[in-house]
Structure 1
Amino acid sequence: MITKNQIAEMEITGITNEGSGVGRLDGMAVFVPQTAAGDVIKVQIVKVLKSYAYGIVKEIITPSPARKEPDCPVFRQCGGCSFRHINYEEELRVKSDFVSDSFKRLGGFDIECEPILGCSEINGYRNKAQYPVAMQDGKAVCGFYANRSHRVIPYTACRLQPVIFKKIVDHIMKFINDNKIPAYDETTGRGLIRHIYIRKGFHSGEIMVCLVSKTKSAAKLMEQMIAETGFLAKFPDIKSVVVNVNPDNTNVILGENNITVYGSDCIEDVMCGNRITLSPMSFYQVNTEQAEKLYGIAAEFADLKGNEELFDLYCGAGTIGLSMADRVSHLTGVEVVEQAVENAKANAATNGVTNADFICGDAGEIADRLQKEGRKPDVIIVDPPRKGCDGLTLDAIVKMAPEKIVMISCNPATAARDCKILCSEENGYKLKRVKGIDLFPGTFHCESCVLLER
């Protein structure tokens, strides 16, 4: 029997879809973070459950050939990255297995997944960062949450972010501490500053700085910082400074109200040749260069001929649908975030797209309404959140009976589950293609794109 605090030797034989290594000890699966397949380790058991256990590395006896020295000083504490201890070739192999295993084991599909598409840039690729702010030892600090907690690890030089993000955040944090502005405390509800949120247009270079605050009083503080510290002169690419007000005791980062302190309410970027307007609330893929390749794969799967009716569900700021608008007769986008819908409409107008409309509402409810109105798409693009499509959305898709469904997903497990439902005998679809696309090097996240046909 495995017991807590037991120390034993074990070989890591695989990696879970959350990035932990897994091996077997006395017949029981043991999950060990920050290990690599092929590692022989001395493990200390820290938690024992009925059919599996968790452990931590006490010593690496024989390192895996894929192992490398982590290139981040807070890798072992921070919850952002899972794979800074293995080379990128191994990371892609692991992620390819995630996708394949999801569709074969969870979905029950007998299909060979296409080769995964890796990134040309594995550092500095993110166009967005959200830094939580907290009080530690009487000082405001910011960084990233430790794994499975809301304990802030103070660090701003994240290798996934552009270097300019660190410089901006450090400038803001100096002002906060110089003026003794308190960070928000989740446990007491006291304090003011919750997050520093930055967006940068990959092609445009335009930067938005958004300070998330408990009250609107932070707007005056940002005005003071701009006036007194040379903030805009130091960072001339900043085109928008916004305070987002979130008074609620919640772990949701953004509140509903924005106050523009400087410049525009939005910034612009280019995605697949289209000019895109981005507000603080807009969904936008964090890896622009790789997202453009992903959307190209989605268009290839859709194989549009020019006369199709295209529905884009969970459309965000409209980037996916607009990238294909010139290849269809009409595009309809559906998104629940009102500001993102306004962005999508503005993006269509900016780019001279006249054959598109965008509807604000829950994807399932709107899809159900459109189906009852007799709207019949030829192709549906669906890009749901990590939890996947809800039952109402899937039912409406089946009733609209498009010839093709192209599903983009940041969670291969829920994509496989939804495809299994769509491919049931009663629903009548067949899974034709599956491809993994890595948009998030260093992390355990992996995107997938699938094609289903009636």
Structure 2
Amino acid sequence: MPEKNQVYTAEITGLTSEGSGVCRIDGMAVFVPQTAVGDICGVKIVKVLKSYAFGKAEEILTPSPDRIEDNCPVYKKCGGCLLRHISYEAECRTKEGIVRDAFERIGGLFPEFDEFIGAESTERYRNKAQYPLAVRDGRAVCGFYAPRSHRVIPVEDCALQPEIFSDILQTVLDYINVKKLSVYSEETNTGIIRHIYLRRGAHSGQIMVCIVVRKDISRQLSALCRLLSEKYSDINSIIMNINPDNTNVILGDRCITLWGSDTISDTMCGNNVEISPLSFYQVNTVQAERLYAKALEYAAPGSSETIADLYCGAGTIGLSMAKQAAKIVGVEIIPQAVENAKENALRNGITNAEFHCGDAGEVFGKLRRQGCKPDIIVVDPPRKGCSSETVDIISEAAPKKIVMISCNPATAARDAKLLSERGYSVDKVCGVDLFPRTGHVECVVLLSRQKS
């Protein structure tokens, strides 16, 4: 067994979904951050558990062919990117392997794996950023959390965000510091301004600035609204979101429009959509369109078929399929997102879509009792996957096809396994990279009801 604080020479043979390299020392798996497959390292053991250990690379003795120089000054401190030290080709291979491993090893499933869909651009692709605030040397700063902590790492510019976000961010920070506005502290649950939250329409260019606060400070922000609206012509909306709770959840339920519109507009899969602060909207628009195109390919709805879209958000997936199907029935738990979905359907002249608010399992169960019999179910659950109730209700509905979109291949494989035990074959899986340079990867899964 490796000993803590000792340094061993080892070769990295794999990467985890968290972006850590894996080597074996004295027969034990050791996880080493910021290493690449093929690196030969001097690994210092920092923690030893019963069946595995954690280490850090004290020295790269022989670098991997996949290794590149990272181009971010805070890469090793920030918890955002995990894979800036390897080539993008290596990153895609790694993520494709993570998807395959989840289904074959975790799920015990062996579907056909379609070609992995990598991103066309690995920089400046995000349409949303949420920056926590902190106080350093008496001044407000913001950035991103260090790994596995809520310690803010100040960031002047992030290569994943549009450049204009950095300019807007600095303007807001300067205002907070000049006006000496109070910054929230998680440790003491005191202070007022918690986050600066920015959204941008990838196609429209429209920008929303959202200031997350513990209480209403509209009067203190009025001059900031004038400053931002005069300085940045792309800003269409300035919102104050109120979150008074002692929680690590970023947004509260109450939004107050301080200037401009309540929403911003964008285009997704040819449909015009409105995006509110609370709406779910994929952060990489270009890749999301490719993801939804793959989902539509798998669903292949006929003109007489009904699609149920569970966890539908602002309706973007279902609406992208509406022209090919007879009817879309969407279910989403966030009321504002449901209203956005209804407005998006109306705005695009889509009359064959309806949206319902509530828990996916409960609402869809009620709709089924009222006679809703979908031919195809599209499900896009959160990272924790589908609830057991939702899996049961989906299988009881017995659609011909299930198309699952997931941001967590492990829970997707788990849910696909459960559905396979309820009469469905897992036919195809396709990995899609919506989050280049990070450890996240999405997948689309096609399941078909077995005739027996």
TM-score, structure 2 length as denominator? Answer: 0.98
The structural deviation recorded for 1:216 is: 0.7
Find the aligned partners of 1:264 and 1:16 in 2 and give their Cα distance. Answer: 43
What is the match of residue 304 of structure 1?
301
The structural deviation recorded for 1:7 is: 1.2
What residue identity is the alignment partner of 1:20?
A: S
What residue identity is the alignment partner of 1:444?
A: G
Secondary structure of 2:384's partner?
Answer: coil
What is the match of residue 170 of structure 1?
170
What residue identity is the alignment partner of 2:195?
A: H
Contact 2:126–2:284 (8 Å) recurs in 1: yes
What is the match of residue 263 of structure 1?
260
Find the aligned partners of 2:228 and 2:312 in 1 and give their Cα distance. Answer: 35
Does 1:450 find its partner at 2:445?
Answer: yes
Question: Where does structure 1 lack aligned partners over 5 or more consecutive residues?
Answer: none
Contact 1:145–1:152 (8 Å) recurs in 2: yes
What is the match of residue 282 of structure 1?
279
What is the match of residue 361 of structure 1?
358
Q: Aligned runs of 1:177-188 on 2, under 5 Å?
A: 177-188=177-188
Find the aligned partners of 2:379 and 2:53 in 1 and give their Cα distance. Answer: 37
Cα deviation code 1:117-165 (max 9, x no counterpart) = 0111110000000001011221111000001100000003000000000
Does 1:94 find its partner at 2:91?
Answer: no
The structural deviation recorded for 1:185 is: 0.2
Does 1:292 find its partner at 2:273?
Answer: no
What is the match of residue 413 of structure 2?
416
What is the match of residue 191 of structure 1?
191
Does 1:437 find its partner at 2:432?
Answer: yes
What is the match of residue 154 of structure 1?
154
What residue identity is the alignment partner of 2:391?
A: L
What residue identity is the alignment partner of 1:226?
A: C
Secondary structure of 2:303's partner?
Answer: coil
Find the aligned partners of 2:47 and 2:115 in 1 and give their Cα distance. Answer: 37
The structural deviation recorded for 1:382 is: 0.3
What is the match of residue 122 of structure 1?
122
Q: 2:404 aligns with which of 398, 402, 407?
A: 407
The structural deviation recorded for 1:59 is: 0.6
Contact 1:239–1:264 (8 Å) recurs in 2: yes
Q: 1:318 aligns with which of 315, 319, 327?
A: 315
Secondary structure of 2:365's partner?
Answer: helix
Contact 1:386–1:410 (8 Å) recurs in 2: yes
Contact 2:112–2:427 (8 Å) recurs in 1: no
Find the aligned partners of 2:225 and 2:302 in 1 and give their Cα distance. Answer: 51
The structural deviation recorded for 1:222 is: 1.9
Q: 2:381 aligns with which of 380, 384, 396?
A: 384
TM-score, structure 1 length as denominator? Answer: 0.98
Number of residue pairs aligned between Structure 1 and Structure 2: 449
The structural deviation recorded for 1:42 is: 0.7
The structural deviation recorded for 1:43 is: 1.1
Cα deviation code 1:219-260 (max 9, x no counterpart) = 222212233xx3212111000000000000000000010110
Find the aligned partners of 1:65 and 1:387 in 2 and give their Cα distance. Answer: 35
Secondary structure of 1:191's partner?
Answer: coil
Find the aligned partners of 1:4 and 1:213 in 2 and give their Cα distance. Answer: 44
Question: Where does structure 2 lack aligned partners over 5 or more consecutive residues?
Answer: none
Contact 2:266–2:274 (8 Å) recurs in 1: yes
Secondary structure of 1:276's partner?
Answer: strand
Find the aligned partners of 1:401 and 1:221 in 2 and give their Cα distance. Answer: 55
Secondary structure of 1:116's partner?
Answer: coil
Contact 2:208–2:264 (8 Å) recurs in 1: yes
Find the aligned partners of 1:156 and 1:421 in 2 and give their Cα distance. Answer: 45
What is the match of residue 224 of structure 1?
223
Contact 2:222–2:258 (8 Å) recurs in 1: yes
Cα deviation code 1:350-378 (max 9, x no counterpart) = 00111111000000111221222231100
Find the aligned partners of 1:192 and 1:5 in 2 and give their Cα distance. Answer: 43
The structural deviation recorded for 1:274 is: 0.5
Secondary structure of 2:216's partner?
Answer: coil
What is the match of residue 40 of structure 1?
40
Find the aligned partners of 1:400 and 1:384 in 2 and give their Cα distance. Answer: 18
Find the aligned partners of 1:214 and 1:68 in 2 and give their Cα distance. Answer: 43
Structure 1 runs (4+) deviating above 3 angstroms are none
Secondary structure of 2:312's partner?
Answer: coil
Secondary structure of 2:395's partner?
Answer: helix
Secondary structure of 1:4's partner?
Answer: coil
Find the aligned partners of 1:160 and 1:445 in 2 and give their Cα distance. Answer: 14
Does 1:138 find its partner at 2:138?
Answer: yes
The structural deviation recorded for 1:183 is: 1.2
What is the match of residue 273 of structure 1?
270
Secondary structure of 2:24's partner?
Answer: strand
Cα deviation code 1:377-420 (max 9, x no counterpart) = 00000000000000111111011100000000000000000000
RMSD in angstroms over aligned alpha carbons? 0.8
Cα deviation code 1:38-70 (max 9, x no counterpart) = 000111111110000011111100000000011
Contact 2:308–2:330 (8 Å) recurs in 1: yes
Q: Aligned runs of 1:325-344 on 2, under 5 Å?
A: 325-344=322-341
Contact 1:135–1:182 (8 Å) recurs in 2: no
Contact 1:43–1:58 (8 Å) recurs in 2: yes
Q: Percent identity, aligned pairs only?
A: 57
Contact 1:368–1:392 (8 Å) recurs in 2: no
Find the aligned partners of 1:247 and 1:44 in 2 and give their Cα distance. Answer: 43
